Structure 1
Amino acid sequence: MERGLPDDFTVKAAVAMAIRAPSVHNSQPWRWAVGARSLHLYADPSRQLAQTDPDGRDLLIGCGAALHHLRIGFAALGWQADVHRLPNPAEPDHLAAVEFRRSEPSASEIALAAAIPRRRTDRRRHSSWEVPRGYLESIAEAVADEGVVLRVAENAERHYLVAAISEANRRHQADPAYQVELAAWSGRRAAPDGVPSKSTPAPDVTPGTLPTRRFADPELSEPVGATGEDDETVLLVLSTASDDRMSRLRAGEATSAALLTATRLGLATCPLTEPLELPDVRRTVENKVSSGTFPQMVVRLGWAPVNADPLPATPRRDLQDVLIPLDTAEAPFGGDHQEH
């Protein structure tokens, strides 16, 4: 970038943090374009999952999570990111234009940036330790700062949410096209994307536990002594007042804020989108759990068992594959990309 703005090293360091964001099946559906005075986030529609995410909602949420990771990364490096979301209606894949100004990082921003390389999607059982209510309030505040509502699913709401998770899981298991896509994006060992075998446990058949996606070739072992019968899993629902593209992008930013805050507090987290991927099941969650707002993400969290081994990092694509000069962004995406 030009003199007085973040140098190339800072830009690459922040984007490297951004691409550690979670995305459905670790599809990493984003590209970043560097201009002289700004940085631009684009959706990569070639990475949209046709069976899992036919309307692109999960794609936008993943890109929003990467955008929030970017904001936190730049903040920790001394730069305030001013974000212009969906800056050009004529270019639907152009999700954000980001400009910068010098800013002293806060202790909270530094702590959240430190959580980025430690965050994992942990699909294992939780312990029986209760999550303090104050921790959930801190996560809710972080989500609210992104314009999104967090609700803890308890009592009847939890019953309906668990039923929705179970129904979506049952129907997906009976859908051959969905199963083919899931197998293609999981069970990986050396690929820079997709869900690695080492990150997925076998489906937990313990009575009363939440059903999970049946990823291909699971290799992750449950911690010794973790039975799943008395774990204190908390289910959070992140919802928005509208269901347009801006709302979904902001929901992704809020998802990142929730996950990083929980990681900073020492909690194990796992984003869940399966109950929201089938329109009628999502409407049930909307009506029974999120009080008429539009559910965008479910987060499962709790304390990992005391003897749980640290999870390995999920692989990411090389920086050179996702970071391009702005004047060449036209080739992969089409259209005339201008500075904003």
Structure 2
Amino acid sequence: MESIAKQLITLAVRAPSGHNTQPWQFSVEQDTVRIYPDLSRRLPVVDPDDHALFISLGCALENLVIAAAHQGLAAGVDYFPSDEPEECLRVRLSEDADEETDALFQAIPERQSNRGTYDGRAIDDSDLARLMDAHFRDSVKVRAFRVGHPDIEPIIGFVREGNIAQFNDPAFVAELVSWIRFTRREVSDRQDGLAAVALGFPAVPRWLGRWIMTTLVRPEGEAARQEKAIRSSSLLLLFIARGNDKQHWVDVGRSFERIALTATSLGIAHAHVNMPCEVAPIRRRLAVHLGLDDGEQPLLLIRLGHVRKRLPTSPRRPVERVMREP
């Protein structure tokens, strides 16, 4: 079982994470996999309470659960069990999975965040229904906003405000720059972060990339670029946690990953436009605008649509670099 568990981790690490920080570690002991938060990879500016970090752990967990089912294994999940010496998600593997996950499993290595401009084609109602059906956790709500419908305009406005607030913050820009890999050598050496080519930039020396990001990239221009990207898309999906704690954050990640993998299986691209969820005052105003109940938090916003070409996939660290002794 241990060898199978290690194979599952090679798919778990294909999960998305903020700035592609890959903030996870794993251990394997007989039939048990533990997923630990790697706080050395947190983003203190954009994610000061670490909710996005735990959303990323949820994505990795869901990949592991799906891959286990594909191997005929059921995965029982314990959230942060009190009998563990360290905070972790504990997954116990056993025989006789009862879920068909082939399409989701096949999508794991294909899924990517495509930050390019989409082609504007609408998502079919049948495909939208499949996307919404992929969401299955009672602790999370998902709201859809179609591009072209009046309901989306205030959401685009919140994205614009979030963009401007973030790019007016030198600490945000510095943190973002620290995770951009401007050259192919940086991508190869680090195997994490945001490859410049995936952001639409040419490969340039780090000093030049830093100068471009701090001098030429302006808040209003970035906001306009993101608005153009949204209007080229078909749909926005907003993930709302029904509570504001780590278990709810993990469940947001699990729900998001199911939908992202379903989208991939349908040939639909996705990318984060999470700015209004990352700036706390704007997130609170967004919750009021949506009439959310007390305690509900809008934590993740993505756009979906069709693309004519894939972008290069983001790098991942090899499994041996995220493994620890049990």
TM bucket normalised to smaller: 0.7 to 0.9
Residue 303 (structure 2) aligned to one of 300, 308, 317: 300
Aligned to 1:194: 193
The question of 1:70 aligning with 2:64 is answered yes
Please give the alpha-carbon distance, in whole angstroms, between the structure 2 residues aligned to 1:206 and 1:169.
Answer: 7
Identity of aligned residues (%): 27
Please give the alpha-carbon distance, in whole angstroms, between the structure 1 residues aligned to 2:259 and 2:265.
Answer: 10
Aligned residue runs from structure 1 range 6-25, under 5 A = 6-8=1-3, 10-25=4-19
Please give the alpha-carbon distance, in whole angstroms, between the structure 2 residues aligned to 1:97 and 1:207.
Answer: 40
Aligned to 1:276: 277
The question of 1:325 aligning with 2:319 is answered no
CA contact (8 A) 1:30 1:63 kept: yes
Aligned to 2:214: none
After superposing the two structures, state which structure 1 stretch, 111-120 or 286-295, moved more: 286-295
Aligned to 1:266: 267
Please give the alpha-carbon distance, in whole angstroms, between the structure 2 residues aligned to 1:121 and 1:194.
Answer: 13
- The 3 A distance-change label for structure 1 pair 71 and 162 is same
Partner SS for 2:88: strand
Query: TM-score, normalised on structure 1?
Result: 0.82
Aligned to 2:257: 256
Amino acid at match of 1:153: F
- The 3 A distance-change label for structure 1 pair 316 and 210 is same
Aligned to 2:50: 56
Please give the alpha-carbon distance, in whole angstroms, between the structure 2 residues aligned to 1:281 and 1:51.
Answer: 15
How far did residue 71 of structure 1 move?
Answer: 0.5
Aligned to 1:233: 234
Query: TM-score, normalised on structure 2?
Result: 0.85
- The 3 A distance-change label for structure 1 pair 14 and 228 is closer
Please give the alpha-carbon distance, in whole angstroms, between the structure 2 residues aligned to 1:290 and 1:249.
Answer: 23
How far did residue 86 of structure 1 move?
Answer: 1.5
Aligned to 2:127: 135
The question of 1:99 aligning with 2:100 is answered no
Aligned to 2:288: 287
The question of 1:28 aligning with 2:31 is answered no
Which runs of 5 or more structure 1 residues have no equivalent in the other structure?
Answer: 1-5, 212-226, 327-340
Please give the alpha-carbon distance, in whole angstroms, between the structure 2 residues aligned to 1:72 and 1:89.
Answer: 26
Please give the alpha-carbon distance, in whole angstroms, between the structure 2 residues aligned to 1:159 and 1:245.
Answer: 31
Partner SS for 1:17: helix
Please give the alpha-carbon distance, in whole angstroms, between the structure 1 residues aligned to 2:245 and 2:99.
Answer: 32
Please give the alpha-carbon distance, in whole angstroms, between the structure 2 residues aligned to 1:294 and 1:98.
Answer: 27
CA contact (8 A) 2:144 2:237 kept: yes
How far did residue 106 of structure 1 move?
Answer: 4.6
The question of 1:47 aligning with 2:41 is answered yes
Aligned to 2:226: 210
Which runs of 5 or more structure 2 residues have no equivalent in the other structure?
Answer: 202-216
Aligned to 2:140: 148
Q: Which whole-Å deviations, capped at 9, do the CAs of 1:119-177 have from their partners, x for residues lacking one? A: 01101111121101222221222113464211112545422211111111101111111
Please give the alpha-carbon distance, in whole angstroms, between the structure 2 residues aligned to 1:313 and 1:207.
Answer: 24
How far did residue 7 of structure 1 move?
Answer: 3.8
Please give the alpha-carbon distance, in whole angstroms, between the structure 2 residues aligned to 1:127 and 1:110.
Answer: 28
Aligned to 1:313: 313
Task: Report the aligned-residue RMSD.
Answer: 2.4
- The 3 A distance-change label for structure 1 pair 209 and 157 is farther
CA contact (8 A) 2:6 2:28 kept: no
After superposing the two structures, state which structure 1 stretch, 239-248 or 137-146, moved more: 137-146
Please give the alpha-carbon distance, in whole angstroms, between the structure 2 residues aligned to 1:89 and 1:241.
Answer: 26
Please give the alpha-carbon distance, in whole angstroms, between the structure 2 residues aligned to 1:95 and 1:192.
Answer: 24
Please give the alpha-carbon distance, in whole angstroms, between the structure 1 residues aligned to 2:269 and 2:39.
Answer: 30
The question of 1:119 aligning with 2:111 is answered yes
How far did residue 276 of structure 1 move?
Answer: 0.9
